[in-house]
Amino acid sequence: MADDFAEWIRDKGISEVECLVPDMNGVIRGKVWPAGKFVSSIKNDSLRMPSSIFSVTVTGQYAEEPGDEEAFSDRDVSLHPDVDTLCVAPGFKTPTAFVFADAHHKGAGPYETSPRYVLKKVLELYDEMGWKVFVAPELEFYLTQINTDPDLPLEPPAGRSGRAETSPQPYGLEAVTEYEDLIEDIYDYAEVASLHLDTMIHEAGTAQLEINFNHGDPIHLCDQVTLFKRIVRQVALKHGVYATFMAKPHENQPGSAMHQHISVVDAKTGKNLFGDSKGKEGLTKTFRHFVGGLQTLLPEVAPLFAPNVNSFRRMRPDHSAPINLQWGYDNRSCGLRVPITDIPNTRIENRVPGADSNPYLAIAASLVCGYIGVRDGIKPEAMVEGNAYRHARTLPRNLDEALFRFTQCKEVIEILGEDFVRAFIRIKSDELNAYEGVISSWERDHLLLKV
């Protein structure tokens, strides 16, 4: 493997290598090595980082359990770079490469709380059945003016016309060309980094964009989403604006999602296991049970796809975000949409995850719930037509409720692993506690001089 890295680095003229390790929040942690040092470290297995990177909260603090001796010893994990993820890093003055790395116990197996490993663990269940999973994320984000005061609301940036958007422009071509220079840089950077992007559109919010990824292997697509977020933020700063993947950055604008298109095929024949002309409505029992698993279990594991306090502000009726797991044909008010397509392309679109979610965990959540649905033969509810917001809310209303429900979901915890779930809950509980200690501008505005 070291020879493969050395040859690629030499051919590309790379001077430095950034080793990328996504943490629990999907934030990229890692180290930068001189290229020669990186190759020699692979040979002697000396690429290491403290295991505590998987207990870092989104605020940069460590979530530690009192009396947890293992946490305080903070042993190293070995980093095993994935040669298939090597790519040129765009925008650097020094020729640089990116590579994703998996964390392992020293001289032993994978580190159980690594999100990339958690997704791989779920995919092994499908491998055992002889199935292959394909996903295609759709990722929304906002461009905003530079904002250095967190107490002030975000504002849309000026476009090429010198004016900022003041009203929704869904699919507006003139609106999207307002940011043409920035978008062209995004595509240029993405091409350098070998990202497989499809369509970019203007979404419903002011200065809100959406990028579609070509369908492919879940791990590969999660790597792509993670790199894309980093690239977009860098390009935005280059153009004097922010790019944000917060789920709900504006009070009166739609939130930002990471919709997931999911399909499953027979690994040997390539046949789509979700669509069948002989099945009811062209859908197989496998597909219906997969949906049944999503409907039953996704509400119980919401922190995996709605991991922040802000995530739940997005899930409001009539704000382009689902509040339940109803399903229907070509119905975007449903949490689960069945796109109208031909049999070989039959798939389910999970519209619940937010753009702020860790892609590895959000996709793992969908796949583990769908797997349990197929395994246990869970029947879905009847399809709905019309406005799905008229149906009862089944998703949690806030992070506190979501975390409690997750701790009770034994079927999913058993598969994902108790060590991972314990670490994840600890991090999210610490973040929630930190948030609950903050006095908001709403409280100062309405309570300061009135109560």
Taking the alpha carbons of 430, 435, 439, 443 in that order, is the dihedral positive or negative? Answer: negative
pLDDT of residue 391: 94
Q: Could you give the percent of the chain with pLDDT greater than 90?
A: 90
pLDDT of residue 282: 86
Residue 211 has pLDDT above 70, yes or no: yes
| Averaged pLDDT of the chain | 94
pLDDT of residue 435: 96
CA 238 to chain centre: 24
Residue 39 has pLDDT above 70, yes or no: yes
**Residue 370 to residue 218: CA distance in whole angstroms:** 14
H-helix segments, 303-407? 359-376, 399-407
The answer to whether the CB of 87 falls within 8 A of the CB of 14 is no
**Which pTM value belongs to this model?**
0.96
Q: Could you tell me the pLDDT band of residue 168, with boundaries at 50, 70 and 90?
A: confident
**Residue 272 to residue 257: CA distance in whole angstroms:** 26
pLDDT of residue 125: 98
pLDDT of residue 2: 73
Residue 70 has pLDDT above 70, yes or no: no
Residue 141 has pLDDT above 90, yes or no: yes
pLDDT of residue 83: 93
Q: Could you tell me the pLDDT band of residue 156, with boundaries at 50, 70 and 90?
A: very high
> Mean pLDDT, to the nearest integer, of 225-245?
98
What tens digit of pLDDT does each residue of 77-134 get? Answer: 999 999 999 999 999 999 999 999 999 998 889 999 999 999 999 999 999 999 999 9
The answer to whether the CB of 196 falls within 8 A of the CB of 329 is no
pLDDT of residue 278: 75
pLDDT of residue 167: 87
What tens digit of pLDDT does each residue of 282-327 get? Answer: 899 999 999 999 999 999 999 999 999 999 999 987 667 999 999 9
- Residue 385's Cβ-count burial label (10 Å; 0-12, 13-18, 19+) is exposed
pLDDT of residue 69: 59
- Show the domains of the chain with their CATH numbers: 2-111 (3.10.20.70), 123-444 (3.30.590.10)
pLDDT of residue 360: 98
- Residue 236's Cβ-count burial label (10 Å; 0-12, 13-18, 19+) is buried
pLDDT of residue 316: 86
Which of 44-53, 127-136, 262-271 is predicted least confidently? Answer: 44-53
